[in-house]
């Protein structure tokens, strides 16, 4: 960066931040109200839930479904522990994508929740409950098909160890079959090849190989019905190892697919009962309100831009891509009309059961947040679109005279952020740092790693932790034609030096 650009960096960063917050008004309000709070103090407020006193029967429905799934995967004791916690602290995280919990975004979101719960004295807080999004591409940048880690080689390059190759092209992680012994053997051979070529060190090879043998290479996992179920079970074990070197026991990580929970709830309680969700799905009187109020909201749909979908995505047999659906009379129809499905309870039930229909993000949150009142922690995108969805849902129900639904939804908390602030770093090459992955915490942890992480959470404010994300949020907030090169040239390192964050962040793990 030349002298002139260094000189005007404060003004350009101010403009960058303002450009971001114009597009992210809820993020702006969080920064204005909570930006000066230390991260850990902010996260300790996750347990504060504004619960409607009129929905205990709805809670019981959600609890029954959660109990069913958790018992299937983790046993009755864990299920009982989770339900006891949810009865008192009715919140979950919906920030993550379904995949091995190694990407820095999801590692940090769950570590922050863990640290906050461990600061409370209530022994009921034994679990971090995550309803993760499984309806994402296998090629998503967070690498849901494998694990990420850095090596001790020059510049600590990122490595990938994957269950499925980049040539795998199913439409979504939600539909991936369970990995099998052949995939594990391929991982072992790749690790051996990497060691032989000098891409990873012997010690790294031994630790990663042992990790796969202990957690992933198990007959009971090969018998699972899907990849998402395997990830749910293996994340439970992987997470426990993150700060083992610090002799710290983290709360359980309960990873469930949001779509699976929603499908079970709809199937059990809404297909044949007089609920708002039933009317949203089947009542033609609701369609014009849905079209008007949810048009253009991120995560919903836009008929004008042909983006998103109307309540469900379709994955008919043989399809390689999610199909958009639009309501036409009593049917959901794809854009090219090659696919058509009747809005009939039995038909929808069977299509969801065979994963031919996948609930959209809008329908997911209508169910868990607006109907069941569950507090959902999210990221800097979610706090905006979920608030807009909530407002649209309330307007729709006001117009339809559903005032009890308005009262319940009005209490839904949509501005709680756990994903975004990232302060778990890996130190390398003497004075360099990069965001730590989950495997980095296992490979390079030491007795002080946890205390170092917690100390950074206590010293760093919410606003300071969000500042380095501004360039990335700017890129996804504007079309390329609108990008300003003088703003795009600002780097995370520039921001950390300008704001003094580089003096607060200390790596919790370091490559020797």
pLDDT in tens, 34-54: 999 999 999 999 999 988 777
Question: What is the per-residue pLDDT for 6?
Answer: 60
Question: What is the per-residue pLDDT for 99?
Answer: 96
Question: What is the per-residue pLDDT for 405?
Answer: 93
Round to whole Å and give the CA distance between 142 and 214. 24
Are 266 and 352 contacting, i.e. CB atoms less than 8 angstroms apart? yes
Cα 28 from chain centroid (whole Å): 21
Q: Which residue has the tokens 């014009």?
A: 288
Question: What is the per-residue pLDDT for 170?
Answer: 65
Which tokens go with 220? 């009971």
Task: Determine the average pLDDT of the residues in 109-118.
Answer: 96
Which tokens go with 2? 């030349």
Round to whole Å and give the CA distance between 200 and 191. 8
Read off the pLDDT of residues 266-301 as tens digits, 9 standing for 90 and up.
999 999 999 999 999 999 999 999 999 999 999 999
Contacts of 383 (CB under 8 A, 6+ apart): 26, 27, 30, 414, 415, 416, 417
Read off the pLDDT of residues 479-499 as tens digits, 9 standing for 90 and up.
899 999 999 999 888 998 899
Confidence of residue 1 (pLDDT cuts 50, 70, 90): very low
Q: Give whichever of 22-26, 124-128, 412-416 has the largest mean pLDDT.
A: 124-128
Helix orientation angle between 449-459 and 104-119, rounded to the nearest 10 degrees: 80
Neighbours of 173 (CB within 10 A): 26
Which tokens go with 504? 């607060």
Question: What is the per-residue pLDDT for 2?
Answer: 45
Round to whole Å and give the CA distance between 480 and 477. 10
Contacts of 498 (CB under 8 A, 6+ apart): 9, 10, 13
The average confidence (pLDDT) of the chain is 93
In this structure, the chain runs to a length of 512
Kindly state the DSSP code that residue 502 receives in the 8-state scheme. Answer: G
Task: Determine the average pLDDT of the residues in 67-96.
Answer: 97
Q: What is the dihedral of CA 310, 316, 319, 322, to 10 degrees?
A: 20
Confidence of residue 429 (pLDDT cuts 50, 70, 90): confident
Nearest to 59 by CA among 80, 89, 81, 79: 89
**Burial class of 408 by CB neighbour count within 10 A (0 to 12, 13 to 18, 19+):** buried
Q: Which residue has the tokens 């991260």?
A: 39
Confidence of residue 107 (pLDDT cuts 50, 70, 90): very high
Round to whole Å and give the CA distance between 290 and 33. 32
Are 390 and 412 contacting, i.e. CB atoms less than 8 angstroms apart? yes
CA angle 26, 465, 429 (to 5 degrees): 150
Nearest to 451 by CA among 253, 252, 245, 251: 245
Read off the pLDDT of residues 134-157 as tens digits, 9 standing for 90 and up.
999 888 888 999 999 999 877 778
Radius of gyration of the chain (CA): 23
Whole-model pTM over 0.85: yes
Q: Name 160's bridge partners.
A: 148
Task: Determine the average pLDDT of the residues in 175-188.
Answer: 96
Largest CA distance in the chain: 69
Round to whole Å and give the CA distance between 199 and 157. 9
Question: Which runs of E-coded beta strand occur in 114-259?
Answer: 127-132, 146-150, 158-162, 252-257
pLDDT cut 90: percent of the chain above it: 82
């Amino acid at each position: 960066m030349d002298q002139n650009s260094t000189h005007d960096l404060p003004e350009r960063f101010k403009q960058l931040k303002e450009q971001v917050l114009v597009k992210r008004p809820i993020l702006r309000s969080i920064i204005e109200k909570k930006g000066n709070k230390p991260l850990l103090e902010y996260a300790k407020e996750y347990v504060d839930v504004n619960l409607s006193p009129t929905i205990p029967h709805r809670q019981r429905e959600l609890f029954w479904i959660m109990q069913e799934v958790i018992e299937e995967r983790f046993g009755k004791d864990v299920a009982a522990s989770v339900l006891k916690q949810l009865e008192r602290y009715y919140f979950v995280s919906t920030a993550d994508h379904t995949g091995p919990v190694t990407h820095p975004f999801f590692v940090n979101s769950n570590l922050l929740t863990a640290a906050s719960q461990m600061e409370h004295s209530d022994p009921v807080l034994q679990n971090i409950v995550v309803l993760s999004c499984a309806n994402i591409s296998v090629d998503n940048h967070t690498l849901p098909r494998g694990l990420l880690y850095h090596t001790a080689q020059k510049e600590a390059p990122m490595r990938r160890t994957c269950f499925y190759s980049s040539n795998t092209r199913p439409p979504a992680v939600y539909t991936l079959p369970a990995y099998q012994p052949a995939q594990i053997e391929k991982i072992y051979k790749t690790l051996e090849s990497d060691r032989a070529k000098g891409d990873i060190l012997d010690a790294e090879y031994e630790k990663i190989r042992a990790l796969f043998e202990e957690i992933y290479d198990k007959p009971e996992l090969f018998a699972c019905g899907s990849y998402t179920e395997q990830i749910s079970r293996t994340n439970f074990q992987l997470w426990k190892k993150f700060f083992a070197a610090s002799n710290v026991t983290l709360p359980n990580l309960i990873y469930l697919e949001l779509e699976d929970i929603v499908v079970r709830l709809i199937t059990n309680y809404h297909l044949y009962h007089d609920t708002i969700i039933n009317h949203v799905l089947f009542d033609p009187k609701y369609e014009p309100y849905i079209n008007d109020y949810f048009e253009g909201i991120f995560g919903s749909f836009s008929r004008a831009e042909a983006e998103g979908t109307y309540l469900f995505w379709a994955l008919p047999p043989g399809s390689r891509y999610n199909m958009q659906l639009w309501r036409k009379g009593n049917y959901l129809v794809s854009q090219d009309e090659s696919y058509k499905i009747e809005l009939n309870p039995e038909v929808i039930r069977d299509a969801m059961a065979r994963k031919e229909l996948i609930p959209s993000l809008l329908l997911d949150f209508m169910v868990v947040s607006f109907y069941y009142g569950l507090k959902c922690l999210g990221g800097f995108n979610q706090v905006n679109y979920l608030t807009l969805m909530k407002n649209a849902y309330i307007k729709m129900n006001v117009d339809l005279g559903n005032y009890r639904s308005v009262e319940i939804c009005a209490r839904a908390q949509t501005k709680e952020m756990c994903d975004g602030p990232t302060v778990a770093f890996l130190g390398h090459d003497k004075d360099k740092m990069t965001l730590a992955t989950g495997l980095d915490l296992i490979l390079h942890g030491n007795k002080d790693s946890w205390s170092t992480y917690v100390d950074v959470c206590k010293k760093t404010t919410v606003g300071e932790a969000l500042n380095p994300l501004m360039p990335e949020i700017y890129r996804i907030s504007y079309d390329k034609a609108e990008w300003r090169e003088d703003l795009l040239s600002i780097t995370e390192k520039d921001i950390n030096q300008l704001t003094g964050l580089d003096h607060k962040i200390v790596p919790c793990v370091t490559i020797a």
